[in-house]
């Protein structure tokens, strides 16, 4: 959780600009209780700074970087600020059989296992609604600070309708699984050519994508 009385603004940039470079440069002129997070999908970043410094940050960004004209969001933060971390774990396990019939007859079998992980962040003011997008599905979030833990709500609607909302209590840094997606990789393909003869491929396996959320 971050301190109160901050001003949240979102700035969007041309794709030629590196958000990581901008963030590193911004951190050099920010106070300890101020922060910045990036959204590489939209090539935007969100700043949370003291109200009297918001115009300074805005001027600095406009003078030094190529910005898109829209300002996505600009609002005063009431209450504390929750930093949500969204982690995506992608596990791939597949077996490929390849049979070549033609000038050279051979059979090949290969097995591949891959795992990748990525993390992104969003800032949500306590008691306000934030938006996560997972595999083109919107998930709305709220947070509340208790004595030693955090209360979060996850909903498929912005109204947090009963039956479509999940309430959780978690400690700082604790990861909660909020979505698991499994994809069947089974497919077959045949390729014919004068030089290669016939090539037959068969792929089996599964891709598992798991999304976790935490408050840091």
- CATH code, domain with 58: 3.30.70
Average pLDDT over residues 183-208: 69
Given a cut of 50, whether residue 147 has pLDDT beyond it is yes
Q: Which band of pLDDT confidence, cut at 50, 70 and 90, is reported for residue 102?
A: low
Quote the pLDDT of residue 5: 64
Judgement on whether residues 131 and 24 belong to the same structural domain of the protein: no
Average pLDDT over residues 191-216: 73
Token pair for residue 139?
């998930």
pTM above threshold 0.75: no
Query: Where is mean pLDDT largest: 78-82, 131-135, 146-150?
Result: 146-150
User: Which one of 78, 112, 138 terminates a domain?
Assistant: 78
Quote the pLDDT of residue 1: 45
Judgement on whether residues 212 and 128 belong to the same structural domain of the protein: yes
Quote the pLDDT of residue 197: 63
Given a cut of 60, whether residue 79 has pLDDT beyond it is no
**25-29, 154-158, 186-190: least confident range:** 186-190
Average pLDDT over residues 32-60: 82
Quote the pLDDT of residue 2: 44
Could you list the beta-strand ranges (E) of 106-196. 106-125, 130-134, 137-145, 150-155, 165-170, 176-184, 187-193
Quote the pLDDT of residue 64: 93
Judgement on whether residues 62 and 131 belong to the same structural domain of the protein: no
Cβ burial of 97 (10 Å; 0-12, 13-18, 19+) is middle
As a three-state string, the secondary structure of 29-79 is CCCCCCEEEEECCCCEEEEEECHHHHHHHHHHHHHHCCECCCCCEEEEECC
Judgement on whether residues 95 and 72 belong to the same structural domain of the protein: no
Given a cut of 50, whether residue 155 has pLDDT beyond it is yes
Count CA atoms within 13 Å of residue 48 on its CB side. Answer: 24
Token pair for residue 142?
């709220």
Judgement on whether residues 93 and 148 belong to the same structural domain of the protein: yes
Measured between alpha carbons, how far is 81 from 128 in angstroms, rounded to an integer? 10
Measured between alpha carbons, how far is 104 from 119 in angstroms, rounded to an integer? 46
Residue 37: Cβ within 10 Å count: 19
Q: What is the rounded average pLDDT for all residues in the chain?
A: 77
Judgement on whether residues 58 and 143 belong to the same structural domain of the protein: no
- Residue 27 belongs to domain spanning: 1-78
């Amino acid at each position: 959780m971050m301190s109160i009385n901050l001003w949240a603004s979102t700035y969007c940039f041309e794709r030629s600009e590196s958000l990581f470079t901008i963030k590193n440069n911004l951190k050099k002129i920010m106070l300890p209780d101020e922060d910045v997070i990036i959204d590489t999908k939209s090539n935007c970043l969100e700043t949370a700074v003291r109200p009297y410094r918001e115009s300074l940050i805005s001027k600095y960004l406009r003078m030094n970087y190529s910005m898109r004209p829209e300002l996505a969001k600009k609002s005063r933060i009431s209450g504390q600020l929750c930093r949500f971390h969204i982690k995506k774990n992608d596990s791939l396990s597949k077996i490929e059989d390849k049979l070549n019939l033609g000038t050279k007859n051979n059979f090949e079998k290969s097995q591949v296992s891959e795992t990748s992980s990525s993390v992104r962040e969003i800032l949500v003011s306590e008691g306000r609604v934030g938006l996560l997008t997972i595999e083109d599905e919107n998930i709305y979030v709220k947070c509340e600070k208790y004595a030693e833990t955090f209360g979060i709500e996850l909903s498929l609607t912005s109204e947090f309708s009963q039956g479509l909302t999940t309430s959780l209590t978690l400690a700082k840094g604790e990861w909660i699984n909020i979505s698991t997606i499994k994809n069947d990789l089974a497919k077959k393909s045949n390729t014919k050519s004068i030089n290669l003869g016939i090539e037959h491929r068969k792929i089996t396996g599964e891709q598992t994508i798991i999304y976790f959320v935490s408050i840091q």
